[in-house]
Chain A
Amino acid sequence: MSGSRLRSLLEAYSTPVLLSSILSLVVVVVWMNASGVLAQTVTDALIRVVLVVGLYIFVGNSGVLAFGHIAFTMIGAYATAWLTLSTFKKSFALQLPAILAEHQYPVFPSAIAASSLAAVVALIVGIPIMRLSGISAAIATLAVLGMFHTFYNNWGPWTMGAATLPGVPLYVDMWVALGWVVFAIFVAFIYQRSRYGLALRATREDEFGARAAGISIPRQRLIAFVISAFFMGLGGVLQAHFLGSIAVKNFWLSLTFISLAMLIIGGQRSLTGAVVGASVISAITEVLRLVENGIEVGGTTISLPPGSQELGIALVMLLVLIFRPSGITGGRELRLRLSRRARGA
């Protein structure tokens, strides 16, 4: 490959390369310097990035809000638990069919299988729902979340109902999370530059124009919906294996709201926005948490009253929305210009 080909390839993929490099750099710096607590925080933030990128693949490219994506996260989280819990724990807590109850599957294929289950569910519910437009589609996905939430909450033999399901093997650390984040970022980018992604983005900009150009809106939305659900499911898988336990109540409105808020605050129209939103909100949350616990500045300990973390994050979100309604990135992508013309300019 000649130098100029390599350069143009690097330039074309500069957005995912840069985003992945920055996140990797953060991980390396934390790995070299910091305590285990910070590593945990970074892992948690990286899992959020997977979720928000997953959400972005549908919401960002289609311009249709979706309130139901956390259902896929829950499906992924429980599916990986059914596959990877030890047979002893399964026999204690759940009543699963023999193929699940009598085996313990390895974690990597399980992660793929669990995320794929979320994608298959999205395909089934998506076929009717993607025919709807705008706010009706958003509410229909909310209804899907409501159905799965209620159902899992009462599905004792498979989910332990409203109780917390413990004993999910812990294997997700900063590096595993980083690996999946890089994968998610590249898939999201390759999708948005593919003809499917471009067609969907065309429907976002001008629905009637796109339709007149022969684009099937339901089909393009469905494709994004399914890919998006895969990564939402993957986020659930990672969270389950990071925390070691799962509960239905954690996959409900607050996770829905915070993920959507991260996307919109970062800038819903670009992949960079999704990554920036998730990272910035996670970082601010962590800083506020530290300050709430008390922080030493010049010999005196400053601490905020309990509960100020949530109030602070809500205020920051409101301020960003008021002063930058199109998000921190304003829908622009981070990119590198290497071509001669750009260098000359």
Chain B
Amino acid sequence: MIGLLQHVVDALALGSLYALTALGIGLIFGVMRLINFAHGDFIMIGAFSLVVPSSAATSTLLIGAWPAPLMVGGVCFVVIALALATERLAFRPVRRADPSVLLITSFALSFFLQHAVLAVHGGRAKSANIWPHLMEPILIGGVRVPQLQLITIVVTLVLLVVLVVFLRRTPMGIAMRAASEDFLTARLLGIRANRVIATAFAISGLLAAVVSLLYVAQTSVLSFHMGVPLVLFAFVATVVGGMGSLTGAVVGGFVVGIGSVFFQVVLPAGWRSNRDVWVYALVLLILLLRPSGLVKSKSIEEKV
């Protein structure tokens, strides 16, 4: 029973990270039909902003050495600035192109960002210990739960609530939802395309920054391809949840996260290295049973 509760917390914490990442991808997909593979590199660069850029083997904390509120603000600033810059320089010029061109543009951007970091920081993984005290467990009803996992879950819930309020109650949020439904009509009604898309990128950057902090706090490891597994599972999650639906992205993130922990627990020891085979099989199964995802979005349905 106690073991079960620990697994539940693990599953929810991993699901939270995937859900936040999937949400960052889903927001951009909603407004411009771009699947942004470079989102993982936003997370990666957020993490690297914690340390001094150098190719030395040992890392020195830069933003990571600041007091917590400044550190959070600093990382958010860096990643949001990066997200806005990529929108302006790389994605805006190809905005009208085919979705596959947008996707390949994000691949190329991802490749560029990874190798830029590789050139500056070198290929070896670095360590960045932020908030080590968060790894100490606390006791809840006789169960030792790492604080960080609880914080991850709480932060995710708070961000989800804030995002829902933003999308439903503020003019910009409503404009963004309108743009996701039907961009052309939204523009005809006077919604400014550039501003809506830039805002979506800023929020996406903010979500990426939060994921970098939570992820680094947990693993303490920085490497230039650390964003890849996150973005891969988050990408799968947005599709499983239902492409074009933000609720779907969150649901998909939790499904993939909970699925991973579930298989980790139930598979016999010898099979555990093959865990991801089962996670991908689950994804395939969901897609075959519900091709448009768990949460169906009206706007994405193809019209005759």
Contacts and interface: CB of A to CB of B under 8 A. Distances in A.
B228 interface: yes
Contacts of A265: 104
Contacts of A142: 232, 235-236
Interface stretch (B142-150, B164-172, B204-212, B269-277): B269-277
A139 B235 contact: yes
Chain B contact residues, majority secondary structure: helix
Counting chain B residues whose Cβ lies within 8 A of the other chain, the interface size class is 35 or more
Contacts of A47: none
A27 interface: no
A321 B228 contact: no
Nearest to A133: B291
Interface string B268-287: 00000111110111011001
Contact of A147 (B97, B273, B277, B292): B277
A151 B278 CA distance: 10
A143 B100 contact: no
Contacts of A207: 302
Could you say which of A128, A129, A140 has the most chain B C-beta atoms within 10 Å of its C-beta? Answer: A140
B280 A147 contact: yes
A303 interface: no
Given A147-B277, A261-B108, A264-B101, A314 B115 contact: yes
A132 B288 contact: yes
Given A147-B281, A253-B232, A307-B118, A322 B112 contact: no
Contacts of B115: 307, 310-311, 314
Contacts of A261: 104, 107-108
Contact of B277 (A65, A150, A260): A150
Contact of B108 (A140, A146, A321): A321
**Size range of the interface on A?**
35 or more
Interface string A227-241: 000000000000000
A65 B235 CA distance: 15
A139 B291 CA distance: 11
Interface string B67-110: 00000000000000000000000100110111011011101111
B274 A150 contact: yes
Contacts of A322: 90, 93-94, 105
B104 A311 contact: no
A13 B213 CA distance: 58
A59 to B, nearest CB: 8
Interface in B226-285: 228, 232, 235-236, 239-240, 243, 273-277, 279-281, 283-284
Most buried by B among A133, A310, A313, A321: A321
A79 interface: no
A322 B273 CA distance: 41
B273 A154 contact: yes
A135 interface: yes
A325 B98 contact: yes
Given A136-B239, A142-B236, A321-B104, A311 B276 contact: no
Interface of A: 65, 128-129, 131-136, 139-140, 142-144, 146-147, 150-151, 153-154, 207-208, 253, 257, 260-261, 264-265, 268, 305-308, 310-311, 313-315, 317-318, 321-322, 325-326
10 smallest A-B Cβ distances: which pairs?
Answer: A325-B97, A314-B112, A307-B119, A310-B115, A317-B108, A146-B280, A139-B239, A143-B280, A322-B93, A150-B276
Given A131-B291, A142-B236, A143-B281, 15 more contacts: A134-B302, A136-B292, A139-B287, A140-B284, A143-B283, A150-B274, A151-B274, A154-B274, A257-B111, A305-B119, A313-B111, A318-B90, A321-B94, A321-B105, A322-B105
